[in-house]
């Protein structure tokens, strides 16, 4: 590894892009970020928060732009985090989801291969627990691991499964170092407002401050294995430092329903009964749902020495406190 390693991050404007940029910068990397669009509205916020990131224009659906980005950054490590990542949105835009989340992975791998960097660039592919879907009852108690069966339940999950297998195929066909992190849900202060945890903590803060009366949600019974994004990007980095490219599950080993998340989030503002504040709206329900996700991170713990600092109550508290601070500042006219 050179004295100043270089990393290219796709999805730099997203939740994980922010966390990994921060981590890599702390570790002394030169960080490049792929940003799409002629005038991406999130460009300035990336530059403000991460002034050390060098932005390169490109799009996962545009192979030429990816070749240019790889040539320009000459990365030792490439974190492929870009995707259409919202499961509900993928039902409404399945073709776009396939183009970006499935074929985009192929475009990234080809860019590395075509530029002749396959022997040196280590690639991280953002695979997901959504590939398991929920119909594998082989390990109901212990959770899904790297050997569990896949049965995706959304256009997003199906597209990610293509990305997962094409990544493994490039590992096997060309000897490329491509590691696949099968990550369960991870959340935090940078989570997009369209995902259920942040939607809840953002609304809870605004309800507390009298800025909105209630929150509209879809199904409340699904269970997720929710961890903290800051802990999970450390696992991504560890996968690329490992001697061999491999697949690793990152999860907490606990699963909680959306109702449990609501209970803790409202308790954080002193409300014992959240029911009067929640309105169910079928618009947020999906044509097929993943009932329960629970992961088994034993392999990452044993092989990579990966651990977590934030537990479930700590995650909910962190997110509510962050949103209360942001909303209070905004009321005071500072933002
Ligand atoms: P986000 O939705 O926060 O970020 C997605 C990123 O992809 C954004 O930066 C977005 O850029 C970019 N993007 C979308 N389309 C394109 C495109 N055509 N070309 C280039 N960039 C594009 O996702 P997260 O940070 O939460 O997740 C990171 C990755 O990990 C994703 O691949 C996700 O599917 C996967 N994952 C996430 C998990 C989680 O719980 N967070 C769990 C498991 C996997 P723009 O600002 O331009 O829209
Ligand atoms: P998920 O996350 O689909 O697990 O995908 P999301 O937060 O969108 O949904 C979690 C569960 O909450 C239910 N739900 C709602 N979801 C949203 N977004 N909005 C609502 O109003 C709402 N009401 C109920 C959903 O139906 C679901 O059961 C996330 C993404 O980050 C993926 O990219 C990633 O791969 C997986 O996690 C692991």
140 and 37 co-located in one domain: yes
In order, the DSSP letters of 34-57 are EE-STT-TTHHHHHHH-TT-EEEE
| HSE of 100, CA atoms in CB hemisphere, 13 A | 20
User: Could you give the CA distance from residue 145 to residue 124 in angstroms, rounded to a whole number?
Assistant: 18
Comparison of pLDDT for 140 and 153, the residue scoring more:
153
pLDDT at 330 over 90: no
Domain containing residue 59: CATH number = 3.40.50.720
Q: Which of 183, 304, 177 is nearest to 249 (CA)?
A: 183
List the residue whose alpha carbon is closest to atom 33 of ligand 2: 85
Domain membership of residue 147 (yes or no) is yes
245 and 261 co-located in one domain: no
Domain membership of residue 299 (yes or no) is no
Domain membership of residue 118 (yes or no) is yes
Domain membership of residue 298 (yes or no) is no
pLDDT at 284: 97
Domain membership of residue 305 (yes or no) is no
User: Could you give the CA distance from residue 238 to residue 124 in angstroms, rounded to a whole number?
Assistant: 10
> pLDDT of 52-79, one tens digit each?
999 999 999 999 999 999 999 999 999 9
Domain containing residue 323: CATH number = 3.90.25.10
95 and 27 co-located in one domain: yes
* 33 contacts: CB under 8 Å, gap ≥ 6: 8, 9, 10, 12, 13, 17, 21, 46, 50, 53, 54, 55, 56
153 and 176 co-located in one domain: yes
> pLDDT of 191-244, one tens digit each?
999 999 999 999 999 999 999 999 999 999 999 999 999 999 999 999 999 999
> If you measure from the C-alpha of residue 195 to the centroid of ligand 2, how many angstroms do you get, rounded to a whole number?
5
38 and 167 co-located in one domain: yes
* Active site residue ranges: 128, 130, 156
Domain membership of residue 160 (yes or no) is yes
Range of the domain at 260: 196-223+255-293+310-329
ipTM of the modeled complex: 0.99
26 and 151 co-located in one domain: yes
pLDDT at 1 over 80: no
71 and 148 co-located in one domain: yes
Residues within 6 Å of ligand 2 by CB:
85, 87-88, 128-130, 184-185, 194-196, 199, 217-219, 222, 224, 258, 284, 286, 289
Mean pLDDT of 132-157: 84
Domain membership of residue 288 (yes or no) is yes
> If you measure from the C-alpha of residue 72 to the centroid of ligand 2, how many angstroms do you get, rounded to a whole number?
35
219 and 234 co-located in one domain: no
Quickly state the pLDDT bin for 139 (edges 50, 70, 90).
low
93 and 238 co-located in one domain: yes
Which ligand 2 atom sits nearest the alpha carbon of residue 183? 38
Whether the CA torsion 240, 242, 246, 247 is positive or negative: it is negative
269 and 179 co-located in one domain: no
User: Could you give the CA distance from residue 200 to residue 271 in angstroms, rounded to a whole number?
Assistant: 14
User: Could you give the CA distance from residue 333 to residue 335 in angstroms, rounded to a whole number?
Assistant: 6
Q: Which bound ligand lies closest to the C-alpha atom of 108?
A: 1
Which ligand 2 atom sits nearest the alpha carbon of residue 220? 24
> If you measure from the C-alpha of residue 83 to the centroid of ligand 1, how many angstroms do you get, rounded to a whole number?
4
Domain membership of residue 335 (yes or no) is no
Residue 335, both tokens:
């933002």
Total domains, the chain: 2
37 and 109 co-located in one domain: yes
95 and 241 co-located in one domain: yes
> If you measure from the C-alpha of residue 321 to the centroid of ligand 2, how many angstroms do you get, rounded to a whole number?
21
């Amino acid at each position: 590894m050179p004295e100043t390693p270089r990393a290219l991050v796709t999805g730099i404007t997203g939740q994980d892009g922010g966390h990994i940029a921060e981590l890599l910068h702390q570790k002394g990397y030169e960080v490049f970020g792929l940003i799409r669009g002629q005038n991406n509205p999130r460009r300035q916020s990336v530059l403000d928060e991460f002034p050390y990131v060098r932005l390169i224009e490109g799009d996962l659906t545009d192979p030429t732009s990816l070749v240019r980005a790889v040539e320009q950054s000459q990365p030792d490590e490439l974190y492929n985090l870009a995707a259409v990542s919202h499961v509900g949105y993928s039902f409404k835009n399945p073709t776009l989801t396939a183009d970006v989340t499935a074929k985009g992975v192929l475009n990234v791998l080809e860019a590395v291969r075509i530029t002749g960097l396959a022997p040196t660039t280590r690639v991280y592919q953002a695979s997901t627990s959504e590939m398991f879907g929920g119909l594998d009852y082989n390990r109901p108690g212990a959770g899904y691991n790297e050997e569990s069966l896949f049965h995706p339940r959304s256009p997003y999950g199906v597209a990610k499964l293509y990305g997962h297998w094409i990544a493994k195929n490039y590992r096997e066909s060309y000897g490329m170092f491509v590691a696949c992190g099968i990550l369960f849900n991870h959340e935090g202060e940078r989570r997009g407002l369209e995902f259920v945890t942040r939607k809840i903590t953002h609304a809870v803060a605004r309800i507390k401050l009298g800025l909105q009366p209630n929150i509209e949600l879809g199904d409340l019974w699904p269970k997720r294995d929710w961890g903290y994004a800051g802990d999970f990007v450390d696992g991504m980095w560890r996968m690329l430092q490992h001697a061999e490219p491999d697949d690793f599950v990152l999860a907490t080993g606990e699963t909680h329903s959306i109702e449990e998340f609501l209970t803790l989030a409202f308790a954080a503002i002193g409300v014992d009964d959240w029911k009067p504040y929640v309105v169910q709206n079928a618009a947020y329900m999906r044509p097929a749902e993943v009932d329960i996700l629970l992961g088994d991170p034993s392999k990452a713990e044993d092989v990579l020495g990966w651990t977590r600092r934030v537990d479930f109550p700590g995650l909910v508290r962190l997110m509510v406190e962050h949103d209360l601070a942001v909303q209070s500042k905004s009321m005071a006219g500072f933002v």
